[in-house]
């Protein structure tokens, strides 16, 4: 489904059209369109290997699509780096690296700092403030390998926060964190939304989508559906995304959207591959 | 003997070795952190044909010329490694092994080939196999120091970018930094460090100079800046010790001396560093263990007493307490320790009773256990 | 002539354990062991005082195992990563060996250079004399013996080796201790390295173990075939290497290593199916086909839409898909050939019914 070209993005935070990503000529994302209005909390969901991480990476320019284009607030991502912030998967980094939590968060300020300037008091202040926001101020001088999984996740979030961006892209931030961290994260996300910022999150837990997010995008190599949770997160779409084996705990109380749990992936879509060179 | 140590030549050699050790150590930190430790091995072995080729083409044995040859060959080797390992049937380490041995073998062919030629001038070249710091001249050291200084300056200028590169490359890309170019630059700097270091340690042992100072430094600090600095210092120290030792003690080749020196530094660091060091960890573990044992004995005594009504207090023997914990020895010793802390008291000669203070402690412990168990749910 | 036989035996003996090293990703451990065996030889020599004693082999084999143990222990402390551990242990032990050799060898010729590249040329002069009968070069017997040993062990333990290499988990649950296989393999590598070391030096041992095996893996999937092919390629490298050495009067070991590299390079480029040349050709073809499919889908999406006029032009393709003109033409021509699209004079494209079916089929997946 394609849109007419040259339509201005009109308040769209993210505008993905016709994006196809292939790895060794095997499609990982095929002809994906996505319109994300500004100021929403969007979950991207789909089975393993559906291309969720690849989609995020493509939006950020970490992966080059074979076709299609991405606009962030109306301009190519290349020009909009200052507006976007990325929270990668926790496992993508070696946490034994010799550095403290505060140092990691300060990395978020490097983008605005420019080439030869050294981070100074101001950057430190920003970083400390962001750590405080995530409840990690006491740990700022802790070596990152000594942090728990949830704490590490919060450090990554603080780093993104330090960028003061308009659009946040997060890859599975809720994966493997404890309850306290989960609450802290959702707190932060709601805060960002209330400030008019846009947050896009790759999310693995279908159960919590209706509770945490207002928009959802279901993908499985192709875009299955995208829109507000109330209209989009339903049996039909989930079945199309997960290939039919979806069990339902349907609770239609007070107009809540149906809750769903995917049992397994029927299809075996091509596995996600690591990013290419930018 | 001391006077002879400080003569002109030795100082030159020591300075040269220190500079080269520092560069390898500092830049090697990044290779180690990026899990590219053994690339040093491959690049240095691959450099041999470059060195010999440079001599064959120019007839010059100036270190700068030879270093250039080494650099070109080393980088070529790296490219070949990347090319080969991009195939999904040849793994990265196999690629390294192949490039390492084939390039080196080819270098040996060239080396023995010029050996047969009338100008036995090659005699100096095989010093690159195991290093020969004694061959460093004053002007060489100046040139090397300059290159080293430039490398350090580049490192300092691009410090934060390299930090992101080593820690979280993708994030750097998302920030808009040209990660690919930075990657190439960093690898280039590491190659320069290797190529410089070849003169002191030689082709075969160079990987140690990249890995060892950084590994040792890592044990002492959790901050990247201090680690790199310390690695440079360790590299320099090892260089000096090895070079001086080999030029004063007869029949002691330089390369192995330096490597052993840095090896000792690594062992000392692994053992003694506070925090990460193995000795400190063993001590910590023992302390914890002891604390656990004390608490266990105290808790056992508490249990025993709680089985009786408070109106008939009487002590329990050490044996009784021992029976509660499957016969772990040294209950007596623990009881004495607890007594000295006021947590238990003697009831009679060999009967023991828990004190108020002891009771409080046990109750607090139980509370802590309960609350942490609750939080886990 | 004897030199060549020794070389061939060395190549064959090394290729066999090499296959397992390559499959398990342990090539650099091989590098480490082949250097460290020198230490074992030297220490044993000081104890036994005899360069030809078989104890030297034993000592060297033990040192090889020691290296593996040290590397494991070091990486298990968690303070040093595995690759760093290898790069720490072997230079240290090797340096120790070199120092012992240089400093104490006095009277015995243990040339440090020869350590690295051996000197096959001298091997024939070291004879095996039993009861006054000259049975040939000692290296011949030694290398031959090791070769036979390797063949025997691999044949006997073939199933175990195969299982432990490809599915360590299954092997463990079936009761073969994969650790035992691991150390057994390392022991064989050490013994082979020691024996070959004398003749061909450390570096060539690495080349002989890794290169033929890696090349063999590009040529076949089956373990049994791989072993044969690896031996074959290794022997080819040995023979061609000794010819080149004769022709250029250069170091035999170095020439052999170089020829092994050449052989590997040829296989890497031209192996059927997996060679670079084939892959590049196939990729190119696939790329065009894939692009053709994308083209049909693109046309399908824009059919009957207002901007069909514009979207279906060849010129626009370049913009949308980021194809350069040349590639775009190639794709279009390919699609035309496959009867998926038709091209009209004004440069706009249209789907044929076959093309539409194709696109719909792909989209429905």
| DSSP string across C178-212 | HHHHHHHHHHHHHHHHHHHHHHHHHHHHHHHHHHH
Alpha carbons A158 and A137: distance in angstroms, whole number: 10
- Whole-number Å distance between alpha carbons of A211 and A256: 9
Q: Is B364 exposed, middle or buried (0-12, 13-18, 19+ CB in 10 A)?
A: exposed
Q: What are the structure tokens assigned to B312, written together?
A: 């008939």
pLDDT at B126 over 80: no
| Chain A CB within 8 Å of residue C286 CB | yes
Residue A259's pLDDT band, with cuts at 50, 70 and 90, is very low
C22–chain B Cβ distance below 8 A for any pair: yes
Distances (CA, A) of A131 to A38, A102, B94, B168: 25, 8, 44, 19
For the record, the structure tokens of B144 come out as 């090397």
Q: Which of C251, A33, A29, C334 is nearest to B111 (CA)?
A: C251
Q: b/e map of A56-82 (b: 16 or more CB within 10 Å)? A: bbbbbbbbebbbbbbbbbeeebeebbe
Q: Is the dihedral of CA A262, A268, A274, A277 positive or negative?
A: negative
pLDDT, tens digit (0-9, with 9 covering 90-100), for C259-288: 999 999 999 998 887 888 888 888 788 788
Residues 186-245 of A with CB under 8 A from B: none
Grouping H, G, I as helix, E, B as strand and the rest as coil, residue C100 is helix
Asked if residues B53 and B232 have their Cβ atoms less than 8 Å apart, the reply is: no
- For residue range C174-207, list pLDDT tens digits in order: 776 777 888 888 888 888 888 887 777 778 889 9
The answer, yes or no, to whether residue A129 has pLDDT greater than 60, is: yes
C322: left (phi over 0), alpha (psi -120 to 50) or beta: left
**Helices (runs of H) and strands (runs of E) counted in chain A:** 9, 12
Cβ-based neighbour number of residue C23 at 10 Å: 19
Q: What is the pLDDT of residue C191?
A: 86
For chain C, positions 275-304, list CB contacts with chain B under 8 A: 276, 279
Tokens 């193995």 found at: B278
Determine the distance from the C-alpha atom of residue C40 to the mean position of all C-alpha atoms in its chain, rounded to a whole number.
Answer: 26
Return all residues near C125 (Cβ < 8 A) that are at least 6 apart: C137
Q: How confident is the model at residue A35 (pLDDT cuts 50, 70, 90)?
A: very high
Which position has the token pair 């350590």?
C115
CB contact under 8 A, A18 and C320: yes
* N- to C-terminal Cα separation, chain B: 71
A14 pairs with which residues across the strands? A36, A72
Average pLDDT (B236-253) is 86
* Residue B242 near residue B261, CB atoms below 8 Å: yes
Question: Looking at per-residue confidence, does B55 or C316 come out higher?
Answer: B55
Weakest-pLDDT range from A264-278, B188-202, B220-234: A264-278
pLDDT-derived band at A262 (thresholds 50, 70, 90) equals very low
| ipTM, interface predicted TM-score of the complex | 0.82
| Residue in C closest to A1 by C-alpha | C301
Give CA–CA dist A175/A177, Å, rounded: 6
- The answer for C 238-277 residues in CB contact with B (under 8 A) is 248-251, 253-258, 260-261, 264, 268, 274, 276
Quick one: tokens of C192? 């082979």
Instruction: For chain B, say whether A116 makes contact (Cβ under 8 Å).
Output: yes
Which two structure tokens, joined as six digits, stand for A240? Answer: 């199309």
Instruction: Name chain C contacts of A22, Cβ cutoff 8 Å.
Output: 290
Q: Which of B89, B205, B252 sits opposite C91 (nearest CB)?
A: B205
User: Is the four-CA dihedral A7, A8, A13, A15 of positive or negative sign?
Assistant: positive
In angstroms, the CA B299 to CA B308 distance is 15
What pLDDT is attached to residue C26? 85
Q: What is the DSSP letter of B58?
A: H
* Interchain CB distance below 8 Å, A118 and B173: no
Residue of C nearest to B276 (CA): C79
The rounded distance, in Å, linking the Cα atoms of C94 and C76 is 22
What pLDDT sits at residue A265? Answer: 36
Tell me the nearest-neighbour CA distance from A245 into chain B, angstroms: 30
pLDDT, one tens digit per residue, over A96-126 is: 899 999 999 999 998 888 787 888 899 999 9
Q: Which of A24, A25, A67 sits opposite C321 (nearest CB)?
A: A67
How far C287 CA lies from chain B's nearest CA (Å)?
18
| Nearest Cα residue to C293 out of C271, C255, C321 | C321
Taking the model in full, what pTM does it have?
A: 0.79
């Amino acid at each position: 489904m394609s849109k007419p070209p040259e339509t201005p993005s009109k308040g769209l935070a993210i505008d993905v059209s016709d994006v196809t990503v292939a790895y060794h000529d095997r499609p990982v994302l095929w002809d994906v369109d996505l319109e994300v209005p500004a100021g929403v909390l969007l979950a991207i969901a789909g089975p393993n290997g559906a291309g969720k991480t690849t989609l995020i990476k493509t939006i950020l320019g970490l992966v080059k699509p074979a076709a299609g284009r991405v606009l962030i607030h109306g301009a190519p991502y290349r020009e909009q780096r200052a507006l976007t912030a990325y929270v990668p998967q926790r496992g993508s980094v070696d946490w034994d690296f010799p550095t403290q939590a505060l140092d990691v968060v300060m990395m978020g300020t490097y983008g605005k700092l420019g080439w030869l300037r050294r981070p100074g008091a101001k950057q430190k202040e920003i970083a400390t403030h962001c750590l405080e926001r995530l409840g990690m101020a006491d740990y700022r001088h802790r070596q990152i390998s000594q942090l728990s999984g949830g704490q590490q996740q919060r450090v990554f979030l603080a780093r993104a926060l330090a960028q003061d961006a308009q659009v946040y892209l997060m890859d599975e931030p809720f994966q493997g964190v404890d309850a306290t961290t989960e609450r802290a994260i959702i707190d932060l996300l709601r805060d960002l939304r209330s400030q008019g910022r846009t947050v896009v999150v790759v999310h693995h837990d279908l159960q919590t989508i209706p509770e945490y997010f207002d928009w959802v995008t279901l993908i499985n190599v192709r875009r299955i559906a995208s829109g507000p949770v109330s209209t989009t997160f339903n049996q039909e779409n989930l079945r199309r995304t997960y290939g039919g084996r979806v069990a339902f705990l349907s609770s239609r109380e007070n107009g809540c959207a149906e809750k769903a749990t995917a049992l397994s992936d029927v299809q075996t879509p091509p596995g996600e591959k690591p990013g290419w060179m930018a | 003997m001391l006077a002879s140590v400080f003569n002109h030549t030795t100082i030159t050699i020591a300075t040269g070795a220190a500079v080269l050790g520092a560069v390898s150590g500092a830049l090697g930190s990044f290779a180690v952190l990026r899990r590219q430790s053994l690339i040093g091995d491959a690049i240095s072995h691959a450099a041999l044909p470059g060195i010999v080729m440079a001599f064959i083409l120019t007839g010059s044995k100036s270190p700068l010329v030879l270093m250039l040859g080494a650099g070109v060959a080393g980088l070529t080797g790296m490219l070949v490694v990347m090319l080969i390992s991009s195939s999904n049937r040849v793994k990265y380490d196999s690629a390294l092994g192949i490039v390492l041995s084939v390039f080196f073998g080819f270098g040996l062919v060239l080396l023995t080939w010029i050996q047969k030629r009338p100008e036995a001038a090659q005699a100096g070249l095989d010093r690159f196999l195991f290093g020969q710091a004694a061959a460093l001249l004053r002007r060489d050291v100046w040139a090397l120091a300059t290159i080293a200084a430039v490398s350090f300056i580049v490192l300092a200028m691009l410090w934060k970018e390299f930090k992101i590169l080593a820690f979280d490359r993708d994030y750097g890309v998302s920030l808009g930094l040209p990660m690919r170019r930075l990657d190439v630059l960093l690898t280039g700097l590491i190659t320069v460090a290797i190529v410089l270091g070849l003169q002191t340690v030689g082709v075969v042992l160079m990987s140690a100079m990249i890995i060892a100072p950084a590994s040792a430094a890592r044990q002492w600090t959790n901050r990247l800046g201090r680690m790199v600095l310390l690695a440079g210092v360790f590299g320099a120290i090892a260089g000096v010790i090895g070079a001086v030792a080999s030029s004063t003690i007869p029949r002691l080749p330089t390369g192995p001396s330096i490597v052993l020196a840095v090896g000792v530094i690594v062992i000392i660091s692994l053992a003694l560093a506070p925090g990460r060091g193995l000795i400190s960890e063993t001590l910590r573990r023992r302390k914890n263990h002891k604390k656990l044992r004390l608490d266990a004995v105290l808790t056992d005594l508490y249990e025993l007493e709680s089985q009786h009504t408070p109106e008939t207090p009487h002590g329990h023997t050490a044996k009784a307490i021992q029976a509660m914990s499957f016969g772990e020895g040294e209950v007596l010793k623990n009881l004495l320790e607890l007594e000295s802390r006021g947590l238990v008291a003697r009831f009679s000669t060999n009967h023991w009773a828990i004190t108020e203070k002891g009771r409080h402690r046990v109750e607090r412990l139980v509370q802590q256990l309960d609350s942490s168990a609750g939080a886990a749910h | 002539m004897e030199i060549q036989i020794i070389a061939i035996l060395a190549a064959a003996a090394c290729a066999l354990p090499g296959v397992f090293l390559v499959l398990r990703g342990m090539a650099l451990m091989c590098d480490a062991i082949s250097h460290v065996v020198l230490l074992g030889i030297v220490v044993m020599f000081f104890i036994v005082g005899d360069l030809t004693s078989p104890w030297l082999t034993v000592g060297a084999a033990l040192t090889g195992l020691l290296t593996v143990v040290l590397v494991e222990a070091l990486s298990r402390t968690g303070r040093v990563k595995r690759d760093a551990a290898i790069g720490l242990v072997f230079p240290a032990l090797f340096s120790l060996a070199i120092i012992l050799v240089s400093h104490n060898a006095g009277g015995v010729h243990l040339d440090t250079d020869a350590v690295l590249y051996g000197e096959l040329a001298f091997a024939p002069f070291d004879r095996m004399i039993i009861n006054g009968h000259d049975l040939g070069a000692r290296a011949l017997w030694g290398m031959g013996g090791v070769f036979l040993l390797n063949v025997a062990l691999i044949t006997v333990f073939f199933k175990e080796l195969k299982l432990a290499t490809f599915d360590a988990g299954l092997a463990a649950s079936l009761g073969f201790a994969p650790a035992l296989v691991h150390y057994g393999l390392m022991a064989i590598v050490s013994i082979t390295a020691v024996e070959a070391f004398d003749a061909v030096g450390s570096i060539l041992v690495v080349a002989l173990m890794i290169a033929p095996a890696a090349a063999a893996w590009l040529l076949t999937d089956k373990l049994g075939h791989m072993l044969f092919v690896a031996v074959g390629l290794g022997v080819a490298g040995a023979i061609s290497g000794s010819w080149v050495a004769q022709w250029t009067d250069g170091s035999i070991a170095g020439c052999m290593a170089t020829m092994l590299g050449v052989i590997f390079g040829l296989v890497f480029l031209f192996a059927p199916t997996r060679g670079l040349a084939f892959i590049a050709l196939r990729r190119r073809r696939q790329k065009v086909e894939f692009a053709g499919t994308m083209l049909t889908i693109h046309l399908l999406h824009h059919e009957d839409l207002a901007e069909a006029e514009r979207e279906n032009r060849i010129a626009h393709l370049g913009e949308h898909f980021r194809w350069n003109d040349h590639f775009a033409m190639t794709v279009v021509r390919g699609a035309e050939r496959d009867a998926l699209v038709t091209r009209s004079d004004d440069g706009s494209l249209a789907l044929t019914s076959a093309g539409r079916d194709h696109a719909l089929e792909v989209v429905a997946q």
